[in-house]
Amino acid sequence: MCLGIPAKILRIDGDFAEANINGATIKVGVQLLDRVQINDYVLIHTGYALEKLSEEDALETIKTLQELEQFNKESILPEE
């Protein structure tokens, strides 16, 4: 499954930017977007920012992803 992940732009340097995903800083291409600013939320896929996201949407998606991660980690057996 192809999944875009929301990230927050930290620094911009021409066609590339540094973005924060879940605490990690990665380098992403921002050529595909018209105007990107520091603190913008963007959707990253295969190293490129594909679209801008509202902060609200971004945070909700991040929360869902975290829930999914938690779900995958947790035991299916009820706690004793």
15 or 69, CB closer to another protein?
A: 69
Query: How far apart (Å, rounded) are the C-alpha atoms in residues 5 and 21?
Result: 8
| Under rule CB under 8 A, residue 2 binds another protein | no
Residue 9 β-bridge partners? 19
* DSSP letter (8 states) at residue 78: P
Structure tokens that stand for 54 in this block: 């509202």
Amino acid at 46: T
Choose the binding region for another protein from 11-19, 20-28, 32-40, 66-74 (rule: CB under 8 A): 66-74
| Under rule CB under 8 A, residue 46 binds another protein | no
Q: Which of 34, 56, 74, 80 touches another protein (CB under 8 A)?
A: 74
